[in-house]
Structure 1
Amino acid sequence: MIGVTGATGQLGHLVIEHLLKTTAANQIVALVRNPQKASALKELGVEVREADYAKPDTLSSAFSGLDKLLLVSSSEVGQRATQHQNVIDAAKAAGVQLLAYTSILHADTSPLALAKEHVATETYLREADVPYVVLRNGWYTENYLASVAPALENQAFIGAAGNGKISSATRNDFAQAAAVVLTSSEPQVGKVYELSGDESYTLADLCAILSEESGNTIPYVNMPEEDYAKALESAGIPAPFAAILADSDAGASQGALFDDSHVLSKLIGRPTTALRPLVKAAL
């Protein structure tokens, strides 16, 4: 039995779709915070159970009978470490034989503020003596594609990544990797996968593709981190999240989002999704 947390989220749902290609639906459990929002998952034939990271009492019964569990990292920055510890404790008590955790690329050396809670979770995993595998996911290409529309509207793509190269991949690429690891016949305990896209690009490179495909000249405007955060706030993004995004861009300028190991494409058995077709689709 394989359980997937955060199954109503974008990544978790995709993982289940990939699992269904090789695994019977009655061997998959969708773990969700609100079962009432999981009708689409029920239609896929998988079992739906309530599992709220912040409510430990929901986790023990949710994990009952599971052999493998995918812990999709919480979206609640600042509360992640505690929430993840709740999941790890419940998985250990339930006798889960493999816990896969979605961390961040090069977590142990990353300058990104986002890495702190991932490092805390990885440390807790080791100390809890739970059989685990770590999926250190790189940046989602979708994070930057979300800026295509405002870039066209404002005739400029803003950021704070400088000339830093970004080795992003799609959620679908990362989801397939998680499904491969969860269903692999090879031992996975103790492995740490650094997962990134095959193609590395700067935001100026992204703007060149965007300009070619849209027929508009869209320059990349690099900004100081603080100014970029303020610009995001003025666009309606809450200040704490704007600060995280700006910090991530600044980290990219230091190489935090770059990796050329091609572990992800080797794991999924195909090249990761190319940038240009994604820009076309976004347009």
Structure 2
Amino acid sequence: MADRGEGPTMIVVTGAGGGVGRHVARELSERGETVRAFVKNDEQARSARVEGATEVVVGDIRSTDDLAAAMRGASRVFHVCPTAVVREVGIAEGLIDAARANGVEHIVFNSVIHPEIRDLPHHQEKLRVERLLLESGIPATVLRPSHFMQNYVDFWDLMLAGTLPYPSSPTSVMGVVDAEDIGEVGAMITASPDGHAGKVYDLSTEELTRHEMAAIWSDVLGHRMSAVRLPPDAMKKPLHGLGPAATIAVRSLASTKGSALRPMFRGLAGMPNTRGVRNWPEESKDCYVAMMSYYDKNGLPAGDMTVLPELLGRPATGYREFAVREAARRGSPVTSSSR
């Protein structure tokens, strides 16, 4: 085991520029922990410092050398892979080797709900990583969050224009959770891991169709919202998105009476490259299409919804509460009835 002397406990957060990792790093910093953020570029490095990271390492999570540099002197690790990374097993093996070399005391892994689903290669890969970590001999905890509420606000401009698009059926039932709740739980366990070694936690809040989500947003934003299905393969076949784009335009005009033309056009222009998917490797695009095709047909049920509030010590953030918070953050007027 590495000798740390009497220095402060160093907690490494991988993927600290992403939705979950960023929240974990901030929560840890607010708890007074010493945080080293592992990020992929200088832009994310600047954000990590704003969130309170004491140190920042810029590197490629797929590089064993970069991982080793990030783990140097670490005591605990919160590990989450970027969305566009499909092959996680090799990364986990490098992480475990570096953790052993530095005497890491505990690893918390951000996995996914229902990783056993065979038709979802991304889920299956996370299940392999779970097994590696739990069998590594290093104390580890696995978090299995549901689909993030934040995923739908990637289309914020189109939401302002009266539609809630997503590349799956609006009637599919999805278990959802607030990424900030996951950040809070992740930071809590990483900072104080006693009693959590070997545990696997389902983290889910509620189940909703996108029609139900649109109804909540209608109340919050004060204009009628329509859920629109984008073809799951539209990111690889842009022409497949032309019909839904026309539907979005028609419904937006009907909902906002033409008062939201600017966000509508801005949203339609950005829709084919949501989350920067054009820059993803082909394998990542294929995985994303497979995932959305599955959601389109089957949805994704929640896990055990009693676990998250027990860990938080408070009720989990509901979808309506999330919508009110996010609208206010973006400077949108929130109707008094939804408060």
TM-score interval, smaller chain: 0.7 to 0.9
Kept in 1, the 8 Å contact 2:86–2:287? The answer is no
The corresponding residue for 1:87 is 95
Give the percent of matched residue pairs that are identical in Structure 1 and Structure 2.
26
Q: Which has the larger radius of gyration?
A: 2
The corresponding residue for 2:144 is 136
Name the CA shift for 1:232/1:158 in 2 (closer, same or farther; >3 Å): farther
Kept in 1, the 8 Å contact 2:217–2:225? The answer is yes
1:1-283 paired onto structure 2 within 5 Å: 1=9, 2-24=11-33, 27-34=34-41, 37-42=44-49, 44=52, 46-109=54-117, 111-151=119-159, 153=161, 155=163, 157=165, 159-161=167-169, 163-184=171-192, 186-197=194-205, 199-222=206-229, 225=232, 230=237, 234=241, 235-237=271-273, 238=278, 241=285, 244=288, 247-248=291-292, 250-251=294-295, 254-280=298-324, 281-282=326-327, 283=332
Kept in 2, the 8 Å contact 1:229–1:246? The answer is no
Kept in 2, the 8 Å contact 1:19–1:179? The answer is yes
Aligned equivalents of 1:195, 1:231: Cα separation in 2: 34
Stretches of structure 2 that go unaligned for 5 or more consecutive residues are: 1-8, 242-270, 333-339
C-alpha distance after superposition, 1:243-282 (max 9, x if no partner)? 6256336337535242342312221122222222433434
AA in 1 matched with 2:314: R
Stretches of structure 1 that go unaligned for 5 or more consecutive residues are: none
Kept in 1, the 8 Å contact 2:119–2:294? The answer is no
Q: Provide the aligned length of Structure 1 versus Structure 2.
A: 280
Name the CA shift for 1:154/1:206 in 2 (closer, same or farther; >3 Å): closer
* TM-score of the superposed pair, with normalisation by structure 2: 0.70
Report how far residue 69 of structure 1 moved: 0.6
Name the CA shift for 1:110/1:224 in 2 (closer, same or farther; >3 Å): same
Name the CA shift for 1:214/1:65 in 2 (closer, same or farther; >3 Å): closer
Aligned equivalents of 1:223, 1:9: Cα separation in 2: 24
AA in 2 matched with 1:171: A
C-alpha distance after superposition, 1:162-181 (max 9, x if no partner)? 53332312221110010111
SS in 1 for 2:82: coil
AA in 1 matched with 2:291: D
C-alpha distance after superposition, 1:204-244 (max 9, x if no partner)? 10121223334443333457755797579644144854862
Name the CA shift for 1:52/1:208 in 2 (closer, same or farther; >3 Å): same
Kept in 1, the 8 Å contact 2:38–2:70? The answer is yes
AA in 1 matched with 2:27: H
Aligned equivalents of 1:155, 1:58: Cα separation in 2: 42
Q: CA RMSD in A?
A: 3.2
Q: 226-235 vs 269-278, which deviates more?
A: 226-235
Name the CA shift for 1:181/1:203 in 2 (closer, same or farther; >3 Å): same
AA in 2 matched with 1:264: L
Kept in 1, the 8 Å contact 2:45–2:58? The answer is no
